[in-house]
Structure 1
Amino acid sequence: MTAPERAAADRPDPGAVDPAAGPVATAAPGVRREEPAPVATAAPDVRRDGPAPDGGAGRGRWLGERIGSVEVLAALLVLLIVFREPMARALAEPRLQTWTTVFVSVMVQAVPFLVFGVLLSAVIAVFVPRSFWARALPRHPGLAVPVASAAGVVLPGCECGSVPIAGSLIRRGVTPAAALAFLLAAPAINPIVLTATAVAFPNNPEMVLGRGVASLLVAMVMGWLWLRLGRADWIRLPRRPELDGSSRGRAFWAAVRHDVIHAGGFLVLGAMAAASINVLVPERWLQTLADNPVLSVLALAVLAVLLSICSEADAFVAASLSQFSLTSRLVFLVVGPMVDLKLISMQAGVFGRRFALRFAPATFVVAVAVAVGTGAVLT
């Protein structure tokens, strides 16, 4: 055998199988052989823990993840410790002490009524069938208005809860005039509000009677006016998603959270505004308004609209405005639960702006007129 022949014999055959290595799978002709999957590598823009390399938007996201409510509270505590002496001197100032006293007194007196009213209102809104109101009211719209107004006694709560419930009544087939009368009467003549008024005015029981009578009259007058002048296309039917499609327990706590957040927030703002009026507005200005019967009524009526206090707490704010007459403070108590900024915004959101732009001014005029007439008779 020549040298080339020996080299060819020693060269391994590509098709041969090595018995020591085991069988080797070979691909059939035309079949695509699988290749090893590439190793996955992280994309360059994947967010990682630690400082952002770019120092720009990534750093903002990183800081947002690291700063939470605990960090904010810790920072506030550190600031309070650092500036405790200047703050102590500021709190010792007589005007600020007066502001704090008025604010705390309003809150301490009003919060129990607010909490109890919110809980009871959530019970009625969740566990009482909405169709009950449609069955309980007379079929004649003119008779349904006073009955719906008087039915406001059974709904302890503020105007924040009466707006969606009035919308539910309309959706259940109740005539809009009766539902609107219920909307106006419920926040003003329910037992919680009248009891709070009695506590705020312990020496003036006529304020409780005057508030109940005047509010009931305003609700009925506005209901009958809607029957006469109202149009169905001014109302957009509402929906309250936290009360629909959930279990009763979840709906109850959703209603409680909703009313506490809204009513409680406005209560704090109202208490702050009342304290600020007592401190910042010169006494002679308030006395000048209080001495003029017309200006005092208009001033407290406008103030009720601007402060937007929950009806379960407004009596305590009215009681703190001792410079004004009982009649002007009665106007404050009647106007507030029916026409205020938060109520107008809620009515616009639930029923539509066309409705709110017509209904709110008319209610304001009727409420002022009826409250002044009632106050002239009872106070």
Structure 2
Amino acid sequence: MTVTDRPAHRHVHDAPPAPNRWWDRFGSVEVLAVILILLVIFRGPIAAKIAQLPLLQTWTTVFVSVMVQAMPFLVFGVALSAVIAVYVPRSFWAKALPKHPALAVPVASCAGVVLPGCECGSVPIAGSLMRRGVTPAAALAFLLAAPAINPIVLTATAVAFPNNPEMVVGRGVASLVVAMVMGWMWLRLGKLEWIRMPHRPELDDLSKGRAFWASCRHDIIHAGGFLVLGAMAAATINVIVPDAWLQSLADNPVLSVFALAILAVLLSICSEADAFVAASLSQFSLTSRLVFLVVGPMVDLKLISMQTGVFGRRFAFRFAPTTLVVATALAALTGALIFS
């Protein structure tokens, strides 16, 4: 018997794949659904226990109020962002921008108005802009401006600060100026070897309908998770930290600005919901809360990690600290001019 006549042997890696069991599809969305169902079933005992603990009752009130106010804006923004990301051709952005890089930066910054989404979607979109030939300075300006000046975020800010309409103006103006300054700084000081040009296609192998729902599912899980963490942090600050500590920090105009800038980086709240968290920090001045709203959509922990994954560590470790300094300084200056 020749070698070719020998019977083929079945190897381990040739074995058929394991059957698709139901628990293999049990992800974070399903876990959240189970938790919500359990909360509804046991709402009576839970409410009774909360009523016995005043601090827990206060914590729950703050947490629920932030979530209830922010969630409609988050869902609406994610849906509109998915529509634009899936159904608007990527080549449109390259054709719409001026050829001169210095002129493309302010145009790209203003183009953020038409992207009703959070910063979670701006990073991959900026990467796709670069893949389509848009100058990195313009793409980065768009990345910074889009999460802060789009109509969903500005409307949410107006709802969160009904008695301070100047907060909406201050947030829009300061964010737009920071985005343009950072774009021009990249033109002047940035080097191509600092940035890893992204080559990952976005949902190219899916139909438009499936790509839309995949984009919505991804964004709502990520942005919603950070919203929950932000609401929990805001509630915890209001309950755990003594009012005297917060008040002494808030009474110092310089320390309050730096404190809320760092808090914005650490909380990593979606830009469609951060205004409601900022409004709950009523001990702090409007200027320091404006800094919180300008810094958050541009520099936070989730953005740094996303930028590292898309553009590389050499880029993120230079771009994020510079953006933090510029955003804090310009937002504080804007607040001093508007609220004085």
Give the superposition deviation at 1:270: 0.3
Residues 310-339 of structure 1: CA distance to partner in whole angstroms, max 9, x if unpaired? 000000000000000000000000000000
Q: Flag the structure with higher helix content.
A: 2
The answer to whether residue 153 in structure 2 is matched with residue 193 in structure 1 is yes
* Structure 2 residue aligned with 1:12: none
Residues 129-164 of structure 1: CA distance to partner in whole angstroms, max 9, x if unpaired? 000000000000000000000000000000000000
Counterpart-to-counterpart distance in 2, 1:235 and 1:367:
21
CA-based RMSD of the aligned residues comes to 2.3
Aligned residues of 2:264 and 2:292 also touching (Cα < 8 A) = yes
Residues 2-29 of structure 1: CA distance to partner in whole angstroms, max 9, x if unpaired? xxxxxxxxxxxxxxxxxxxxxxxxxxxx
Amino acid paired to 2:228? V
SS in 2 for 1:148: helix
Give the TM-score normalised by structure 2: 0.87
Give the superposition deviation at 1:236: 1.7
Alignment CA distance shift 1:156-1:86 (3 Å)? closer
The answer to whether residue 308 in structure 2 is matched with residue 357 in structure 1 is no
Counterpart-to-counterpart distance in 2, 1:312 and 1:73:
26
SS in 2 for 1:116: helix
* Structure 2 residue aligned with 1:332: 292
Aligned residues of 2:260 and 2:291 also touching (Cα < 8 A) = yes
Counterpart-to-counterpart distance in 1, 2:258 and 2:310:
28
The answer to whether residue 335 in structure 2 is matched with residue 375 in structure 1 is yes
Counterpart-to-counterpart distance in 1, 2:278 and 2:152:
16
Alignment CA distance shift 1:334-1:351 (3 Å)? same
Counterpart-to-counterpart distance in 2, 1:73 and 1:162:
31
* Structure 2 residue aligned with 1:140: 100
The answer to whether residue 121 in structure 2 is matched with residue 178 in structure 1 is no
Aligned residues of 1:164 and 1:239 also touching (Cα < 8 A) = no
Alignment CA distance shift 1:87-1:239 (3 Å)? farther
Counting only pairs closer than 5 Å after superposition, residues 1-379 of structure 1 correspond to structure 2 as: 88-240=48-200, 243-379=203-339
Aligned residues: 311
Residues 80-137 of structure 1: CA distance to partner in whole angstroms, max 9, x if unpaired? 97x9869833443111111000000000000000000000000000100000000000
Alignment CA distance shift 1:73-1:131 (3 Å)? closer
Unaligned regions of 5+ residues in structure 2, if any? 1-22
Counterpart-to-counterpart distance in 2, 1:231 and 1:361:
16
Counterpart-to-counterpart distance in 1, 2:302 and 2:214:
20
Counterpart-to-counterpart distance in 1, 2:61 and 2:324:
32
Amino acid paired to 1:120? L
Alignment CA distance shift 1:77-1:194 (3 Å)? closer
Give the superposition deviation at 1:244: 1.3
Give the superposition deviation at 1:237: 2.5
Give the superposition deviation at 1:301: 0.3
User: Which of structures 1 and 2 has the bigger CA Rg?
Assistant: 1
More off after superposition, 336-345 vs 229-238 = 229-238
Give the superposition deviation at 1:176: 0.1
Give the superposition deviation at 1:296: 0.3
Structure of greater relative contact order (alpha carbons < 8 Å, 6+ residues apart): 2
* Structure 2 residue aligned with 1:5: none
Aligned residues of 2:174 and 2:331 also touching (Cα < 8 A) = yes
Aligned residues of 2:93 and 2:129 also touching (Cα < 8 A) = yes
Aligned residues of 2:70 and 2:273 also touching (Cα < 8 A) = yes
Give the superposition deviation at 1:245: 1.6
SS in 2 for 1:237: coil
Aligned residues of 1:330 and 1:371 also touching (Cα < 8 A) = yes
Give the superposition deviation at 1:235: 1.7
Give the TM-score normalised by structure 1: 0.78
* Structure 1 residue aligned with 2:9: none
